[in-house]
Homo-oligomer: A and B are copies of this chain.
Amino acid sequence: MPNVSPSACCGVLRFATVFVVTVASALPATAQTPAPAKQRARELGLPIGGTAGPLDAITDVAGVEVGHTTLISGSGKLVVGKGPIRTGVTVIHPRGKSNSDPVFGAWFTLNGNGEMTGTTWLQESGILEGPIAITNTHSVGVVRDAILQWQVGKPGMQPWGLPVVAETYDGGLNDINGFHVRPEHVASALDGAKGGAVLEGAVGGGTGMVCHGFKGGIGTASRRLPAEQGGYTVGVLVQCNYGARRDLRIAGVPVGEEIQDLQPCIANRDAPQAGPRRPCDAPATNRDDDDGAGSIIVVVATDAPLLPHQLKRVATRVSLGVGRMGGWGQNPSGDIFVAFSTANAGAGNASDTVAVRMLANGRISPLFTATAQATEEAIVNAMLAAETMTGANDLRIFALPADRLPAIMKKYGR
């Protein structure tokens, strides 16, 4: 299957068919970049704090695998059931796709205007029994059942489960009411997941997402603690679809106030499709900045030996990273976070008493800081990786202009 650069979706191209792009996280360098390589936060030297792991990705936590299926097709006027399609699904296997050994896990919600299935059992049992998936709001159900179907078909996997599937809303760029995600797309992401570098931006579940008024989507980052703090790794993956432009801060710098142009607009003046939006070639107004509706799903992985109640504490700290970026957990936002630990292999499947290792509470604080910092950086990475996209009804969402960041950072002493 050909690898389609996310940038292909933009501009005036017209697609005749749905491109189903299943992308494993580990891409050969050649496949990833026909376009000039985009820089990530640490390459830009953004001073978010802490030290990243080798990949600066959730896959720095050994065993974690990520897979995406990206669905991009059509352009112009929205016809429900036809498109344009800008959506997909992203999956995270805590111990890899071939290892069904459960992990300890927990979740937290800053603002619950969203869905994450499977959380009731996660909270009760302290155990995450399968992959995590992220998709659009209207496809949570199909993804959930498809994970069960996939598990039922695997020898050795539990033929039962309560899958963890979360969502953010892509009804701006995507024909969300067309229900375009299908079971085979889910299976493809599950089977195609890999370790290594994670493709970011408008891919997988993040394909049609908008973050602080810029093109958002999937982003990832990690932090590695120094040896004297245990040397543990915290990896974060976000599906970023929240935030007002004016509130965007990067490393404390009010980037959103500095970039008030490049607001969402309608690319086709002759056929403005979506009511109140400004045509892209009309003068900007002070009403262009959205209110920050949207959502953010955050997955935190760590190899630190944390028990379920400790992972809940970690998941709670994601809020701090979101807040530092300029998120307020606003009413329309589904800000839902899940954390798991890859330590304690075998504990979740034990049949009687089992030995597990626990990190003392007195040693947990650096993991809190790492979680907040990796969340911040993953959000920035999502925006940096995504390219400008034009979708349903010619809605255009611009990429964060990375080339303007150095001057802005300098203006604010960074």
Q: Which residues of A contact B (CB under 8 A)?
A: 80, 109-121, 123-127, 137-146, 148-149, 152, 159-160, 162, 165, 169, 171, 177, 179, 230, 247, 249, 251-254, 291-292, 305, 307-310, 313, 316-317, 319-324, 327-332, 334, 336, 347, 350-365, 368-369, 372, 411-414
Contact = CB atoms under 8 A, between A and B. Distances in A.
Query: Interface residues of A: mostly helix, strand, loop or mixed?
Result: mixed
Contacts of A356: 355-358
B121 A112 contact: yes
Contact of A359 (B152, B310, B329, B353): B353
A354 B357 contact: yes
Contacts of A123: 112
Given A331-B361, A331-B368, 13 more contacts: A110-B316, A112-B125, A119-B119, A126-B307, A127-B361, A140-B144, A251-B252, A307-B309, A317-B328, A320-B323, A351-B363, A353-B359, A355-B358
Contacts of A140: 117, 141, 144-145
B162 A177 contact: no
A307 B305 contact: no
A390 to B, nearest CB: 22
B411 A313 contact: no
B347 A352 contact: no
Contact of A115 (B118, B139, B309, B359): B118
A141 B304 CA distance: 33
A359 B352 contact: yes
Contacts of A372: 323, 328
A311 to B, nearest CB: 10
Contacts of A109: 120, 124
Contacts of A363: 351-353
A152 B308 CA distance: 32
Given A124-B111, A125-B112, A412-B413, A305 B254 contact: no
A179 to B, nearest CB: 7
Nearest to A137: B160
A169 to B, nearest CB: 7
